[in-house]
Structure 1
Amino acid sequence: MKRSIKTELATLLSAAALAVIGAAADATSSQAATPLVLACYPGAPETFFREEIIPRFEKQFDAKVTYLTGNSPGTIAKLQAQKSDPQIDVACIDDGPMVQARGMGLLQATDPAKLTNLKDIQEVSKLPDGIGLGWGLFRFGLAYNPDEFKKRSLPPLESWNDLARPDLKGHVVVNSISISYTPILLTMLARANGGDEKNIDPGFAEMQKIRPNVFTYDTTADLTPYFQQGEAWVGVWTDSETYSYVQRTQFPLKFVFPKEGTTAIQTAAAVVAGAKHADLADKFLNYLIGAEAQELMAKKLGWMPVNKKAQLPSDMAAIIASPEGSGDNMVSMDWTLLGQQRPAWTERWNKEVETQ
């Protein structure tokens, strides 16, 4: 009996020793992991990063990622406050505010040698001076209800100018000028008629032709109620929002890129100036624009990939017309000029377009 107790005691002590050794090994492994602080968006993007991107990245690069939630203005404010002693390594900032953050010296260029996936992304997602990269696209175009078109034997949409077609009278929804989509619409209408953001007059002239077709100027950027109620046959929207809407509701909506070209707003990310873990930050951005991460993003968030090698989910490809070719038809805009001109355009829009 005593011998048995001694044997059991020895076994327990051995197990305890192994547990201590194992715990020490885990602690050593945890300490060895390189930290990375990521400031990025709340909501669905946060869930996507925490469940899909961060675990894969941590495993592949022996890293430990801390996620700080915030929108673009909030993140920029943090970067300003921490400028002398940065606590964030990678910041997600929309491409418009990214211009501001870049100009304030809050961001730094990535190391091209570490960006092996850079060659595979859309040109529009390669931001100036190597500072920041786009990682999710929201491309502009025309969402429409194919059932309404079929019932009335309407020809397909091909151009931005199709918004003025008489057969669409009273069934077009356009955002109000208070929504950032509308300055983009004005610019694309201008480009379709010989102008651009530097010469916006053709855009306003075309909008006068479109006015009779518009039944409302939406102030929410959410066109879903108008399509559901049957009022809207056509709306100016993004491919990502169209896809997400169809996924949620199974509503028969389609999306087309006008032949004159399109542009996009995009979610972007950059290495913070003076980041303590800049090397790992570069690797994180490279991973984020890789085909695997981009395909996960398209599947989980419904955002359009910036990586040209990423395969779209089959149901997405069925909703979004010719996604492969749209990259060749992308146009870059002078976002700084758009920001500067917006007050004047808003005043003009309110007088000439969205009048009572």
Structure 2
Amino acid sequence: MKAALHSRRRSASRSLRTALCSAAVSLVPMLAHADTTLYVANVGGSNEQMYRQKIIPAFEKAHNVKIVYVAGNSSDTLAKLQAQKGHQQINVAVMDDGPMYQAMQLGLCAKVDDAPVMKDLYPLAKLGPTAVGVGMVATGIGYNEEAFKKLGLPAPDSWQVLTDKRLKGKLGVPPITNTYGLHTLVMLARLNGGGEKNIDPGFTAMTKQVAPDVLSWAPTPGEMDGLMQAGDVILAPYGSGRAVALQNTGFPLKFVYPKEGGVALQVGACAVAENAQPQLSQQFIQFLLSPDIQAVQAPGDRPWTGQPDRHADARGRGPCAVRPRADRQADRDGLDHGQSAPRGMDRALEPIGRTLSDAST
């Protein structure tokens, strides 16, 4: 009797040990997955939705990693990188070109690893040894076409429309902590005899001619979209990519490259210096440059909106980085006007991010 009882106890003990071991083994992949997290800082809004739905899941599956998307304006991301220097929580930073150049100058970005995809980049996308361009958009003017027709206003074609008194109380302008707002300030400076390195005429025009008529200085693109959709704002400086997203909702937004020129805005990416996941950070950037992911970022049937139609539908929020396969046979093939830029990119879309960064230092 005692022997039988002892045998049953040993059997139960073995079963318990087996069950515990099996449970422990089954937890290993889950723990490994939970322990590997990549923090990617990028802008919010429609761009965040695209990343969450079409980009992040594929990378997570391929690399058995969890990505945390840290949404915020580029200036906010730069401030976080500066505050966390030496104890970085962000692994990959995706920012507009101006803040990205500042991050590079401050030593916040690690050297870009060499990889086959880097050989396929347009020269324009090679921002420097520590960052690469992953997309290109442009800053211009967005307006509510139906509202303009109801008010009998002509379609805008110039940055000067921001000073039109008929728009009083219906005008939105992003603050200069937002790249679209900073570009607007630069264009106002240029229209008044200044420029990136002589910005005072821009501040004068902004404060005296534009500000009195502004309803909202919405700090994020999402807030500006909301004001547009509510009918409170009928015109504002806009990015071409944001315009695409709003147009896709059915809203009657028209996007204009002003006759004085739009402003090219390159989106850059870098692996944050001294971050906890250096290899994964580099792999994520290479993933963003892969042809499939570049195609995800370039909806529509062409990568660029041509200058001849200034009242375009703003198709094409990227890519700028990777050359089409046919263009890789020769460095200059596919480049217009002798410029290091993708085919179809008009000279009126002038990149000013590096100049702004230089002027601020």
Same-fold call, TM cutoff 0.5: yes
The Cα shift of 1:270 comes to 0.8
Paired residues, what number?
296
Counterpart residue number, 1:106: 108
**Contact persistence 1:88–1:275 (CA under 8 A):** yes
Q: 1:252 to 1:118 in 2, by over 3 A?
A: same
The Cα shift of 1:256 comes to 0.8
Q: Report Cα offsets for 1:70-117 as digits up to 9, x if no partner.
A: 3525752685233xxx78753434544434432342322213553346
1:76 alignment partner AA:
L
Counterpart residue number, 2:158: 159
Counterpart residue number, 1:330: 349
SS of alignment partner, residue 255 of structure 1 = strand
Once residues 240 and 210 of structure 1 are traced to their aligned partners in structure 2, the CA distance between those partners, rounded to angstroms, is 28
Once residues 219 and 293 of structure 1 are traced to their aligned partners in structure 2, the CA distance between those partners, rounded to angstroms, is 33
Moved more, 110-119 or 35-44: 35-44
Q: 1:176 to 1:146 in 2, by over 3 A?
A: closer
**Structure 1: gaps spanning 5 or more residues:** 1-23, 312-322, 341-356
1:234 alignment partner AA:
L
Q: 1:65 to 1:260 in 2, by over 3 A?
A: farther
Moved more, 182-191 or 215-224: 215-224
Q: Report Cα offsets for 1:169-227 as digits up to 9, x if no partner.
A: 53651426565343431211222444212123443565578449x63241324334554
Moved more, 272-281 or 102-111: 272-281
2:131 alignment partner AA:
G
The Cα shift of 1:293 comes to 1.2
Once residues 329 and 132 of structure 1 are traced to their aligned partners in structure 2, the CA distance between those partners, rounded to angstroms, is 25
Counterpart residue number, 1:350: none
Once residues 214 and 276 of structure 2 are traced to their aligned partners in structure 1, the CA distance between those partners, rounded to angstroms, is 50
Once residues 304 and 160 of structure 1 are traced to their aligned partners in structure 2, the CA distance between those partners, rounded to angstroms, is 21
**Contact persistence 1:135–1:288 (CA under 8 A):** yes
Does structure 1 residue 139 correspond to structure 2 residue 138?
yes
Once residues 235 and 288 of structure 1 are traced to their aligned partners in structure 2, the CA distance between those partners, rounded to angstroms, is 30
2:81 alignment partner AA:
I
Counterpart residue number, 2:197: 198
Counterpart residue number, 2:257: 257
**Contact persistence 2:97–2:265 (CA under 8 A):** yes
Counterpart residue number, 1:284: 284
Once residues 169 and 88 of structure 1 are traced to their aligned partners in structure 2, the CA distance between those partners, rounded to angstroms, is 41
The 5 A counterparts of 1:114-263 are 114-116=116-118, 118-120=120-122, 123=124, 125-127=125-127, 129-137=128-136, 139-151=138-150, 154-165=153-164, 168-170=166-168, 173-175=171-173, 177=175, 180=178, 181-204=180-203, 206-207=205-206, 210-211=209-210, 215-221=213-219, 222-224=223-225, 226-228=227-229, 230=231, 232-248=233-249, 250-263=250-263
SS of alignment partner, residue 242 of structure 1 = helix
Q: Report Cα offsets for 1:226-251 as digits up to 9, x if no partner.
A: 54455544222222333333334x22
Structure 2 length-normalised TM: 0.61
The 5 A counterparts of 1:9-88 are 37-41=38-42, 48-57=50-59, 63-70=63-70, 71=72, 72-73=77-78, 76=81, 80-82=85-87
2:159 alignment partner AA:
W
What is the root-mean-square deviation in Å for CA atoms of aligned residues?
Answer: 4.7
Instruction: Give the counterpart of 1:306 among 319, 335, 338.
Output: 319
1:336 alignment partner AA:
S
Once residues 50 and 228 of structure 1 are traced to their aligned partners in structure 2, the CA distance between those partners, rounded to angstroms, is 24
The Cα shift of 1:48 comes to 4.3
Q: Which runs of 4+ in 1 moved over 6 A?
A: 308-311
Structure 1 length-normalised TM: 0.62
Once residues 246 and 279 of structure 1 are traced to their aligned partners in structure 2, the CA distance between those partners, rounded to angstroms, is 38
The Cα shift of 1:141 comes to 1.1
Once residues 318 and 267 of structure 2 are traced to their aligned partners in structure 1, the CA distance between those partners, rounded to angstroms, is 11
**Contact persistence 2:298–2:316 (CA under 8 A):** yes
Q: 1:69 to 1:42 in 2, by over 3 A?
A: farther
**Contact persistence 1:38–1:65 (CA under 8 A):** no
